[in-house]
Amino acid sequence: MADEDEVLFQITRKHLDTGLRGFPVGTCGTSAVDPVQGVSYVGYPIAELYDVEPEAAVYLLFEKHLPSADELAAFKADLRARVGMPSSVVTALKSLPRDGHPMEWFISGLLYLGMTTKTGDYAEDARNLVARSTELVAAIFRIRNGWGEPIAPDPSLGLIEDFVRMLGIPGADPERVTAVLRSFYVLHMDHGGGNLSTFVGKAVASGHADLYASLAGAMAALYGPLHGRANQDALDFVRRVGTDDPDAVEAFVRKTLDEGGKIYGFGHAVLRAEDPRATVQYEVGRRTCPDDPLFRTALVLRERAVKVLSGIDKVSNPYPNVDAVSGTLLHAVGLTDSSTYTVLFGLSRVVGIAAQIIDERVRARGGKGVAIYRPKFIAANQPRRSLKG
């Protein structure tokens, strides 16, 4: 039994305006982030989980244990029975401005799906959304990229196999796309309770907004370049490096830093070692696209950027994070538009955020749910004034 009076954190004035960095504010039953070991889902290190069936990882986060063979079969059947979004969602997507960012499309699509299909029951809506979000994302990719009409789901297929089929990436090898997207999906599902999008999603839900509105808020948070959109910037950075010659790569990194630029895909707010989600993806790359030029550049950056960043005193974590290599794998299998990468992150992160929202709304505090989020902000530069003089 935890000691309810245990002091977990002492807040002083220097902690104010630091984005709640490190403040304990709640409990999380889905995943934990250790600064050195990285993320684990319900106790399982991510490196052991990344090639489980995607539906088994979803089940783990929702139910807090890995499914037996029977449980997995029943869960997959349940999800597949839910596929199929209203055709009006596609009509709505087609009316969106083509130059809107794919994340703006995704957020709009989530809200539209909510308006047309929500039940108001968090657990029910979460299952519906996991079953239907692959169709939503595939439709966004096809319409925005001009790849043709959206492709209807095939309920006989697994979640990611069907997603790859519905994407229909022109000229791509479905087996390689599936290998990359399966691991990408599992690796990005959850990252503790305090990453920005998860925190925002739970905060919105704490006012009893429905799951779709809460996730739209969460995805707006993920859209920021300091959070999920960093995977787009990281691939663009690898492209700019433009070589896999180790010395030239190192020179590029040094020059970028000298000019005040950023080394995208390196460092993290919590981690202090190589992100295991990056470690896994380097291995996936060695298997799926070992000779791809951008992947080879990412491999060299793994060594040379760390070397350069390690020599800078104020850098607390010089190591690759999840974004350092993910874009190069997506690019290698035919997803060449980096502006779509955060949508793939969001497609996956929806799972962990939904699982945490269910825990906070339906299970926490003996079913009462976590209270509405209401942290205190200390008034600053507001001397008492009066209009009466």
Active-site residues, by number, are: 227, 268, 323
Site string for ligand MLT, 181-200 (x = CB under 6 A): ----------x---x-----
Residue number, 306 or 322, with CB nearest to ligand MLT? 322
Shortest separation between residue 195's beta carbon and ligand MLT, angstroms? 3
Is the Cβ–Cβ distance between 59 and 79 less than 8 Å? no
165 lies in the site for ligand MLT, by CB under 6 A: no
> Is residue 221 within 8 Å of residue 202, measured between CB atoms?
no
Quick check: 206 binds ligand MLT (CB under 6 A)? Answer: no
Comparison of 195 and 338: residue with beta carbon closer to ligand MLT: 195
Residue type, position 226, single letter = L
Task: Give which of 187, 212, 113 is closest to 349, Cα–Cα.
Answer: 187
Nearer to ligand MLT, 22 or 311 (CB): 22
Stretch that binds ligand MLT, among 95-103, 139-147, 263-271, 300-308 (CB under 6 A): 263-271
Question: CB-wise, 19 or 375, nearer to ligand MLT?
Answer: 19
229 binds ligand MLT (CB under 6 A): no
269 forms part of the interface with ligand MLT (CB under 6 A)? yes
Q: How far is the CB of 270 from ligand MLT (least distance, A)?
A: 6
- Taking CA atoms, 140 is separated from 25, 92, 144, 215, in Å, by 36, 11, 6, 17
Candidate residues 322, 329, 330, 350; the one interacting with ligand MLT per rule CB under 6 A? 322
281 near ligand MLT, judged by CB under 6 A = no
Q: Which residues contact 242 (CB under 8 A, 6 or more apart)?
A: 252, 297
Least CB distance to ligand MLT at residue 106 (A)? 16
Helix (H, G, I), strand (E, B) or coil at 379: coil
As measured in angstroms, the least distance from the Cβ of 291 to ligand MLT is 29
- Closer to ligand MLT by Cβ: residue 128 or 183: 183
What does the alpha-carbon distance between residue 200 and residue 358 come to, in Å, rounded to a whole number?
14
Residue among 128 and 281 whose Cβ is closer to ligand MLT: 281
Q: Does 221 bind ligand MLT (CB under 6 A)?
A: no
Contacting residues for 304 by C-beta, under 8 A, at least 6 apart: 246, 249, 250, 253
Q: How far apart are CA 347 and CA 138, in angstroms?
A: 10
Work out the angle at residue 200's Cα, subtended by the Cα atoms of residues 233 and 341, and round it to the nearest 5 degrees: 25
Query: With CB under 6 A as the contact rule, which of the stretches 11-19, 100-108, 207-215, 264-272 interacts with ligand MLT?
Result: 264-272
What HEC string does 229-297 produce? CHHHHHHHHHHHHCCCCHHHHHHHHHHHHHCCCCCCCECCCCCCCCCHHHHHHHHHHHHHCCCCHHHHH
Q: Least distance to ligand MLT from the beta carbon of 196, Å?
A: 6
Measured from the CB of residue 268, what is the shortest distance to ligand MLT in angstroms?
6
Cβ burial, residue 361 (10 Å; 0-12/13-18/19+)? buried
- CB of 101 within 8 A of CB of 339? yes
| Residue 66 found at the interface with ligand MLT (CB under 6 A) | no
Chain residues that interact with ligand MLT, rule: CB under 6 A: 191, 195, 268-270, 322
